[in-house]
């Protein structure tokens, strides 16, 4: 049996939300065309290899999705939620938080660092 649709050779198309998650970008900040279109595996790989200007800008400036915000701040997603910071932030907003180091952020960074250190010893 041959495949009648050659675009499915590498699997079914990837939904925009899945592609955004894999690219670590905030879907609502992407161009409407990206939000409305499923991607083939080849198109996704091409975005990774040769990101268009909008993707480069989004990665550089944000807004960033929750997992990326947590990673850039050096804290857990739970810490973001517990401190009412469970929202997309721009790179500038993240830098400002890192410069100000509010108490909750210092504590969350210390907690995660301690947990990682403990995990590393086991």
The confidence score (pLDDT) of residue 9 equals 56
Domain residue spans of the chain: 12-61, 62-122
| Max intra-chain CA distance, the chain | 63
* 7-11, 61-65, 96-100: least confident range: 7-11
Q: Do residues 80 and 70 lie in contact, with contact meaning Cβ atoms separated by under 8 Å? A: yes
Tens of pLDDT, residue by residue over 91-107, are 999 999 999 999 999 99
pLDDT over threshold 50, residue 5 = no
Q: Do residues 88 and 26 lie in contact, with contact meaning Cβ atoms separated by under 8 Å? A: yes
Measuring CA to CA, which residue among 75, 87, 77 is closest to residue 116? 75
Three-class DSSP labels, 67-96:
HHHHHHHCCCHHHHHHCCCCCCECHHHHHH
Tens of pLDDT, residue by residue over 41-56, are 999 999 999 999 999 9
* Alpha carbons 31 and 107: distance in angstroms, whole number: 37
Whether the pTM exceeds 0.85: the reply is no
The confidence score (pLDDT) of residue 118 equals 83
* Alpha carbons 65 and 24: distance in angstroms, whole number: 7
Q: Do residues 77 and 70 lie in contact, with contact meaning Cβ atoms separated by under 8 Å? A: yes
């Amino acid at each position: 049996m041959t495949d009648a649709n050659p675009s499915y050779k590498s699997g079914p198309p990837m939904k925009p939300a899945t592609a955004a998650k894999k690219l670590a970008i905030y879907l609502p900040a992407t161009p409407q065309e990206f939000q409305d279109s499923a991607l083939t595996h080849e198109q996704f790989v091409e975005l990774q290899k040769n990101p268009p200007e909008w993707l480069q800008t989004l990665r550089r400036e944000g807004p960033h999705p929750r997992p990326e915000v947590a990673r850039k701040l050096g804290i857990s997603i739970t810490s973001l939620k517990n401190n009412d910071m469970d929202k997309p932030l721009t790179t500038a907003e993240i830098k400002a938080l890192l410069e100000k180091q509010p108490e909750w952020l210092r504590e969350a960074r210390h907690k995660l660092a301690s947990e990682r250190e403990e995990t590393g010893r086991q």
